[in-house]
Structure 1
């Protein structure tokens, strides 16, 4: 390997060390057993690469792995050809075949677009609907001899997967377009691709399906996809139009079985008829999850299953985050991570706006953030003040509730007394003789101000009210009964005074 490759890069140096170790016994990369992985964070846009053969895919992976190790973009990359072939699991000495692989990769292109891939044809071109497919049949025939990745409508941005490639004196030098280099080195919108896993696949459909579902493993399943997309993963072949039951038997089932056997995930699928009233199975959805062994290795890396579960469940860390932690374990100890967790929890309690908790936690870990003793003392004092204020609020609320309850009880008692007095007044008036009733009505209608107002509000005059009709109107009757109750209280007080004077 030449000096153009930075030997200080840990992941690349580890791969080189393994290669040197395996070379004498001619052990390929897919047979490596190691606790440390060889791979890189692949931008999710590369999941759209369709139409490459198995060896061509491995060529691209090996090249992008080399590119991903450099923090800055370079004009070209050069490594030992034997090392490069080991990375792509290529042990053939057939130079014509290797040249054909390079031509296949160079003939492929990637469309850089934010739109999701809906349907692709046999050449990997996006097809918007069935009508447009018929219009492009003639063009498809012209390009069927070449494997083209995604080519969509007239508006787009197409990039070569690999630029100029030169093989000389046991070394391979290659170029990658600047735009693709930025995507390869993008750590945000990416997912982890392990060369130790991808090098094991022997079925093109297994590799194609694995590449497509890997970005969504953390979600647990994909959206419903056009079955035609899965059919066309290897590009144009007779299997594209094969009857579904045969495609399922000969390709799909075998691919799923190989993924479950050789990779770090388990996968299943379901199909449905996407067109109403149609029985044709034309949509597929994959469900997947990490194998326990893959999860266990991450927990072991942290020396604590509880810490791993906290990071995964509470803060939502993904494989990409755990891989970054693993690459920084020399400085990112469990204690440092736990201090960062405490810091982020404190920020959340304080109500600070955090849009992406996982990303924020990773920044705090990287910066070595922690909660100081002074900050903890501030939290304790504020908690005491809050507790005291809460106790005072509770006491105040209790007093207010007690007063309100007392007032309500008094109001209820007064209302009960008024109802009882009204009942007694009604009974008294009904039992009195006519002379007494006439006298009570006269006093109410002539000397009681409230009585006069009540009568007039009903559109009557005092002279219109008599002992025979005063109880006919509810409003006048209620006011009159209150007046009678008052007269009864006066009579009772008079009797009480007279009895006191006799004594």
Structure 2
């Protein structure tokens, strides 16, 4: 599988490679272990999908993943049924159940609205506001309890999630409304959805909550949401009206635990009584963050692990900056990202005052900055000039250093010779007869200015220095040694008779 990871492929091509490799062992998509992801940029509007069971959600993900891989609007999409079922982690051979999944998807609608969604009605539709509710006791006895949330206006647009679906001869062919195709292929206002992660969920509330909170990862916290909204995410069930303590125990807590265990985010929540004068907890807010080990999963959108590591290590991009890149992947290609990296590094080399490399790189990426060929040529010429000057300076420095080294070596050699001469002179003095030693001392005291000064520094008089004690005074002994060495040189140069 290494070859399929290393070469640059689309998520669809990679998914096909992975499917083929796992087919002999009948491996499911949730069992895949990979350093590259399978997913697509999901428009935030799809976080509003509610009322779908787990298999139906997986069907929609598989279909929209295939749609997202083609930049052009298509009348229909056609793939092998076995690959499609692998994408949606569907292992059952029960044809009736698969047909029921398709019917469930086709019967669901997506309400498209630009208004903020804060609640849902009894039919599962998102609405902007809820009407005032009566006390809990009254509602419990009301046969119309499901209608405690009503739509204030019937205005809106509803789109079917999937169009016609045909399953024949081992292939599945499906249509998607053009309006939804545009949203699926729209890189703006989107977030990355990983099929490798969503396929792991086995609890419908875990999957539904994960889908709903994922767009909030860059913000690290959701808004305060009506608890009824969370209750209704998977559709109508006993959980919609269960007491909160039972809903929390049987649905909410297991869902949060599964999200934290199986997904790429860590999730916590808090609840509060949002209605003035009421102590009933009716609002919930989720806090979430990307797991440290799963940040690299965002590299799936880059088609290159090396490029991701550059952004993470060299530029230290934050998770929110990675999210921004993910939201613009249709326009911010790998080549454009490399171009922004090159431009940022070039500006740094030019000595620009850049506060943060990551921020500057994101600005270069957003504004499509690039280094022109002329600028590259200028930099190359300047680098060559600097290199030539450096070589010249280094050459001059090398010559100066060589001269200094030679001088130091000569001085050291001369000093060594002086020490050797003094040592030999002292040895000569020590072995000479008494008369010769007295003559040398008398001559040293009488004719050597340096000798007299050395004697005076010792606070002595010349008459006090004799051949017997001259070597006991260190300063006088050194000067006397040089004097004797000089006398020996003179004797060596004198012509023999």
TM-score, with structure 2 as normaliser = 0.63
Q: Which residue of 2 aligns with 1:341?
A: 344
CA distance in 1, matches of 2:129, 2:337: 53
Question: Structure 1, residues 431-464: CA drift from partner, whole Å, max 9, x if none?
Answer: xxxxxxxxxxxxxxxxxxxxxxxxxxxxxxxxxx
| 2:126 aligned with 1:123 | no
Question: Structure 1, residues 128-180: CA drift from partner, whole Å, max 9, x if none?
Answer: 5443889xx999989xxxxxxx9883211111100000111111000000000
CA distance in 1, matches of 2:281, 2:16: 47
Q: Which residue of 2 aligns with 1:153?
A: 153
Shift of 1:328: 9.2
Shift of 1:340: 2.8
Question: Structure 1, residues 350-385: CA drift from partner, whole Å, max 9, x if none?
Answer: 9xxxx99837515637x676864648999xxxxxxx
Q: Which residue of 2 aligns with 1:267?
A: 267
Shift of 1:264: 0.7
Q: Which residue of 2 aligns with 1:169?
A: 169
CA distance in 2, matches of 1:221, 1:281: 19
Q: Which residue of 2 aligns with 1:27?
A: 27
Report the 3-state secondary structure (helix = DSSP H, G, I; strand = E; otherwise coil) of the residue aligned with 2:188.
coil
Cα distance change of structure 1 residues 24 and 229 upon mapping to structure 2, 3 Å threshold: same
Where does the alignment leave 5 or more consecutive residues of structure 2 unmatched? 1-7, 135-141, 383-497
Taking the TM superposition and a 5 Å limit, the aligned residue runs for 1:457-476 are: none
What is the RMSD of the two structures over their aligned residues, measured on CA atoms?
A: 3.8
CA distance in 1, matches of 2:330, 2:159: 33
Question: Structure 1, residues 199-238: CA drift from partner, whole Å, max 9, x if none?
Answer: 0001111111101111110111111111110011111111
Q: Is the 8 A contact 1:321 1:362 kept in 2?
A: no
Q: Is the 8 A contact 1:273 1:281 kept in 2?
A: yes
Cα distance change of structure 1 residues 316 and 81 upon mapping to structure 2, 3 Å threshold: closer
CA distance in 2, matches of 1:128, 1:316: 28
Shift of 1:116: 1.7
Taking the TM superposition and a 5 Å limit, the aligned residue runs for 1:349-388 are: 358=362, 360-362=364-366, 364=368, 372=376, 374=378
Report the 3-state secondary structure (helix = DSSP H, G, I; strand = E; otherwise coil) of the residue aligned with 1:271.
strand
TM-score, with structure 1 as normaliser = 0.63
Shift of 1:269: 0.7
Shift of 1:278: 2.0
Q: Which residue of 2 aligns with 1:455?
A: none
| Bigger relative contact order, structure 1 or 2 (CA pairs below 8 A, ≥6 apart) | 2
Taking the TM superposition and a 5 Å limit, the aligned residue runs for 1:85-96 are: 85-96=85-96
CA distance in 2, matches of 1:195, 1:304: 20
Q: Is the 8 A contact 1:221 1:288 kept in 2?
A: yes
Q: Which residue of 1 aligns with 2:258?
A: 258
Shift of 1:333: 8.3
Shift of 1:189: 1.2
Q: Which residue of 2 aligns with 1:477?
A: none
Report the 3-state secondary structure (helix = DSSP H, G, I; strand = E; otherwise coil) of the residue aligned with 2:167.
strand
The number of residues matched between the two structures is 356
Q: Is the 8 A contact 1:311 1:317 kept in 2?
A: no
Q: Which residue of 2 aligns with 1:450?
A: none
Q: Which residue of 1 aligns with 2:408?
A: none
CA distance in 2, matches of 1:357, 1:307: 9
CA distance in 1, matches of 2:351, 2:157: 42
| 2:334 aligned with 1:321 | no
Where does the alignment leave 5 or more consecutive residues of structure 1 unmatched? 1-7, 143-149, 379-503
Report the 3-state secondary structure (helix = DSSP H, G, I; strand = E; otherwise coil) of the residue aligned with 1:364.
coil
CA distance in 2, matches of 1:151, 1:291: 39
